[in-house]
């Protein structure tokens, strides 16, 4: 079975291919910018994006909307993680967290799936962890080098290690179970 994954992010595609490949699902990447609403819930953003892309492409599609929610920063950067990554980056996040004792954060991935003419469905994966004190590791992308679980950042994990536990893997496996 082949599904269209609408994203401009190659890292997301590689992870999804590896995880869904275990279930015999193949992915075709389509880079088509879809409008994102400003909402505090990733589920809303992923659902709207999937509906829009399914209508536009006339095919069943998946989209992925992800973010890191830092408790000491009232959930910032949350749904705007991609914009924050592009502007202040990991160094900006680390600066905001300087001297902050409460390092708790969660990373969350929401897979939005939609067939043309149908209502979209969402599948959510969450991973709890902490913001590290500096960037560590060269694997992954985005916030991976500053998000740690059990003392190791996602950036220090090999792809197969990250894919065992990651928020995205959890969301994708829920999606594959449903499918």
- Among 74, 101, 119, 160, indicate the residue that binds its own copies (CB under 8 A): 74
Q: In the annotation, is 133 catalytic?
A: no
Q: How far is the CB of 48 from its own copies (least distance, A)?
A: 9
104-114 β-sheet, strand order: 26-30, 2-6, 61-70, 104-114, 121-131, 147-149, 152-153
Examine residue 45 and tell whether it contacts its own copies (CB under 8 A). yes
- Among 5, 15, 27, 36, indicate the residue that binds its own copies (CB under 8 A): 36
Q: How far is the CB of 52 from its own copies (least distance, A)?
A: 11
Size of the site for its own copies (CB under 8 A): 23
Long-range Cβ pairs for the range 116-123 (8 Å, 24+): 116/54, 116/55, 116/58, 116/59, 116/60, 118/54, 119/51, 120/46, 120/47, 120/48, 120/50, 120/51, 120/54, 121/47, 121/178, 122/43, 122/46, 122/47, 122/50, 123/171, 123/172, 123/174, 123/175, 123/178
Q: How far is the CB of 10 from its own copies (least distance, A)?
A: 21
Examine residue 95 and tell whether it contacts its own copies (CB under 8 A). yes
Examine residue 144 and tell whether it contacts its own copies (CB under 8 A). no
Q: Are 146 and 101 in contact (CB under 8 A)?
A: no
- Among 38, 101, 150, 160, indicate the residue that binds its own copies (CB under 8 A): 38
Q: Which is nearer to its own copies, 69 or 123 (CB)?
A: 69
Interface with its own copies (CB under 8 A): 35-40, 45, 73-78, 80, 83-84, 86-88, 92, 95-96, 98
């Amino acid at each position: 079975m082949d599904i269209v994954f609408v994203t401009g992010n190659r890292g997301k595609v590689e992870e999804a291919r590896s995880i869904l490949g275990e279930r015999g699902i193949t992915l075709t990447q389509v880079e088509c910018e879809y409008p994102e609403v400003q909402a505090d819930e990733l589920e809303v953003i992923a659902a709207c994006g999937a509906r829009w892309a399914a209508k536009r492409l006339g095919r069943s599609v998946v989209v992925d909307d992800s973010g890191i929610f830092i408790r000491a920063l009232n959930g910032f950067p949350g749904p705007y993680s991609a914009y924050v990554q592009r502007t202040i980056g990991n160094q900006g996040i680390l600066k905001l967290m300087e001297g902050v004792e409460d390092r708790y954060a969660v990373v969350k991935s929401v897979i939005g799936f939609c067939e043309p003419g149908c209502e979209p469905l969402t599948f959510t994966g969450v991973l709890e962890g902490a913001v590290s004190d500096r960037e560590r590791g060269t694997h992954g992308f985005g916030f991976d080098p500053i998000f740690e679980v059990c003392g190791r950042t996602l950036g220090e994990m090999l792809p197969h290690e990250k894919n065992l536990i990651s928020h995205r893997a959890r969301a994708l496996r829920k999606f594959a179970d449903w499918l």
